[in-house]
Each structure stands twice: as structure tokens, then as C-alpha cells.
């Protein structure tokens, strides 16, 4: 019998990390979650353990601390790393750029150095559609020019460039850069989901928190964009579909002969008001909203060309916007205060 491969999941207690952890275990991998819990909850890991019905090794540590990382690699044989750990709020990155470069870029440098020292040279990196900046057209394919409109996006772009340079210096590395569009939804069990601290930066938790009465109204930032209804258009992807993309990347990574960049999205663009209407239709709950000024760093329209993911990963999204709304609402109703509810 083949020995299970052990995957280190940095930021594995977070929103996307916790959903990916479930699918990795269901696919037969052993995992170790490495997280500093600055923007995530230990409860999410406890709930993942319930869903998969087995204990998970959790290491509390910071990617900026080499000793924390060294300990993990010295006490376990790690075959590959899925690297989610990072700060992700666009607005905060504009106010605190150094914090983002320190955490995201410096933390990744540390991680790669420790990986190389311990002969682990396989990494799947959690990148973002933010690296396309304000695209000249849509849908966005992987060979579009890259740029960034905020420090968060720039930190992701810097890391992509660093990882490409690393591969050029040493072809033993296996590197996949997964460029996410807009993950929403929750595990269908309603036990884990997105639980942002403070006022949500992302649309879907803002909608669901408004629907449940935690917020008075949804702020819609800008209704004067060059889109069908004036509100921003994005490619919303169910977090479980997104997580499945990581499992597929892990299955295929050994066959890739270069650094591979892959968009993970649905290929469909929906406006803010489209999402509000879909949510109201599925839940029967009205979502009051107010039009506010545009936010710095936001763009009009952003959705993916997803043909390459299908070609190289044999992966495509399966869940509809209605399903994304239904799963979000189920999670929010079970957990009105997020992980603090129980």
C-alpha cells in the first residue's frame, strides 16, 4: 500500500484553507495545518475534524518566524506545501502597505528557504486575480499583462515573480500559481464558512450579515461603473469548487515541467446587484442596500477565461450562483455570529 503523502497547509484554518483541508483528507492525503490564527478561528479546524471524522495536526506558528517553520519540517516529512497564509484585505493594504509586504512577501521568502533546506520543493501558491490590475478587456486569460492597483495585489504579484525566479535557479521546484477570482459560499454542511472579523471587505458575507440583521444595510461601492447596471462585475466561485482546484493541482503537479499559472473562476461575471437579487430569490429575505462612493483600488469588471484550468487540471466549477447563495445563507443561519455563535 502506498504511504500517504503529507501536505503542509499554511493558513489552513482560514476560509479557503479549511475547505481545502476537508477535500485533501477526503482525497487520501495527511495534512498539517500551520496558522497563526490572526484572522481565523481554531473552531474552524475543530469543525473540519468533525466533518472528516479524524484528528488533524495543528501547529500554531507564523510564516515570518523561521524557527516556527523549521520545527514543522524537522518533526514531519512534508511532501508539498499549499500556501494560503497571507493578509487579504484590499482597503487595509492601502492603509498599511508595509504590513502586507512583511507578512505576505517576507513570510513567503522564509517559507521557501525552509522548504529548500528540508528538500521539500513542491508548492501550490494561493494567488489572486488582483494581479491582473485593471484589465483592458474580459474574460481574463493567464497570459494577460500583470499589474496591481493596490498593495495586496502587488504582494501577490511579487510572490509570483519570486517563485518564478526560484524555479529558474533550481528546476527541481514544482510550482503552481492558482489565481483565484472571488470565492464565496460555504461547506454544504453549514458548519464552516467565511467569518470575517469586523465589517466584511467581501460582498457575500456583507450580504448575509445584512440579511440576518447583523448589519443595517449593504454598502454598494459605486453605481457608475461601465457595466450593465453600473455596479462592479466579478467572477464568483464556490469555495468548495475552488478547494477542489487545489486537490487537482496537487494530483497533476509532478507532471508539470515549468511554473504553471492557472485561473480558478467560473468564467461568468455577475454584478453586485445580480448577486443581491440571486440571494433574495434563494432565501426569500430582502437585503436593504445603499449606494456609496467607489472604493480606492476597485475596478469595473473582472471575470476569468477558465479554459486553461480545464485543459491542464481537468477541473471546472460546478456550482451555480444560486447554490453559492444558498450555502452562504445556510452557514450564516447556523452561525449568526460566525464561529463565536457556539
Residue with cell 480606492: 296
For residue 107, CA distances in Å to 13, 127, 183, 192 come to: 17, 14, 23, 26
Catalytic residue of the set 29, 100, 132, 152: 152
**CA 91, 305, 137, 300: dihedral to nearest 10 degrees?**
-30
CA distance from start to end of the chain = 41
Provide the 3-class DSSP secondary structure of residue 201: coil
For residue 254, CA distances in Å to 80, 117, 175, 189, 292 come to: 11, 20, 9, 33, 47
- CA nearest 327: which of 265, 260, 237? 237
Kind of pairing between the strands at 233-234 and 122-128:
unpaired
Give the angle subtended at the CA of 266 by the CAs of 265 and 268, to the nearest 5°. Answer: 120
**Dist. CA 296–CA 263, nearest whole Å:** 24
Is there a contact between 100 and 93 (Cβ–Cβ < 8 Å)? yes
For residue 249, CA distances in Å to 48, 115, 122, 125, 312 come to: 21, 19, 11, 10, 9
Q: φ, ψ for residue 247 (rounded to 5)?
A: -65, -40
Residue with cell 508539498: 80
Verify whether residue 152 is a known catalytic residue: yes
Provide the 3-class DSSP secondary structure of residue 119: coil
Provide the 3-class DSSP secondary structure of residue 122: strand
Give catalytic residue positions. 152
Amino acid at each position: 500500500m502506498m504511504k500517504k503523502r503529507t501536505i503542509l497547509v499554511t493558513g489552513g484554518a482560514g476560509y479557503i484553507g479549511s475547505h481545502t483541508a476537508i477535500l485533501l483528507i477526503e482525497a487520501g492525503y495527511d495534512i498539517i495545518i500551520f496558522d497563526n490564527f490572526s484572522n481565523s478561528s481554531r473552531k474552524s479546524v475543530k469543525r473540519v475534524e468533525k466533518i472528516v471524522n479524524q484528528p488533524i495536526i495543528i501547529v500554531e506558528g507564523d510564516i515570518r518566524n523561521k524557527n516556527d517553520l523549521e520545527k514543522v519540517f524537522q518533526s514531519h516529512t512534508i511532501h508539498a506545501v499549499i500556501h494560503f497564509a497571507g493578509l487579504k484585505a484590499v482597503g487595509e493594504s492601502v492603509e498599511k502597505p508595509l504590513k502586507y509586504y512583511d507578512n505576505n512577501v517576507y513570510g513567503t521568502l522564509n517559507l521557501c528557504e525552509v522548504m529548500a533546506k528540508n528538500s521539500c520543493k513542491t508548492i501550490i501558491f494561493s494567488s489572486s486575480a488582483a494581479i491582473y490590475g485593471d484589465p483592458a478587456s474580459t474574460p481574463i486569460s493567464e497570459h494577460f499583462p500583470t499589474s496591481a492597483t493596490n498593495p495586496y495585489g502587488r504582494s501577490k504579484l511579487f510572490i509570483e515573480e519570486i517563485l518564478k525566479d526560484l524555479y529558474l535557479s533550481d528546476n527541481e521546484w514544482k510550482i503552481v500559481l492558482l489565481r483565484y477570482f472571488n470565492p464565496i459560499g460555504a461547506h454544504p454542511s453549514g458548519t464552516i464558512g467565511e467569518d470575517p472579523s469586523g465589517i466584511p471587505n467581501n460582498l457575500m458575507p456583507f450580504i448575509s450579515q445584512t440579511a440576518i440583521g447583523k448589519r443595517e444595510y449593504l454598502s454598494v461601492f459605486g453605481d457608475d461603473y461601465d457595466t450593465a447596471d453600473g455596479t462592479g462585475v466579478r467572477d464568483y466561485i464556490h469555495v468548495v469548487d475552488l478547494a477542489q482546484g487545489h486537490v487537482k493541482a496537487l494530483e497533476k503537479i509532478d507532471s508539470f515541467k515549468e511554473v504553471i499559472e492557472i485561473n480558478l473562476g467560473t468564467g461568468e461575471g455577475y454584478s453586485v446587484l445580480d448577486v443581491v437579487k440571486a440571494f433574495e430569490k434563494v432565501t426569500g429575505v430582502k437585503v436593504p442596500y445603499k449606494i456609496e462612493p467607489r472604493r480606492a483600488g476597485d475596478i469595473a469588471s473582472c471575470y476569468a477565461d477558465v479554459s486553461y484550468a480545464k485543459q491542464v487540471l481537468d477541473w471546472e466549477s460546478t456550482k451555480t450562483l444560486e447554490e453559492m447563495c444558498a450555502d452562504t445563507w445556510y452557514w450564516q443561519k447556523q452561525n449568526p455570529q460566525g464561529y463565536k455563535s457556539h
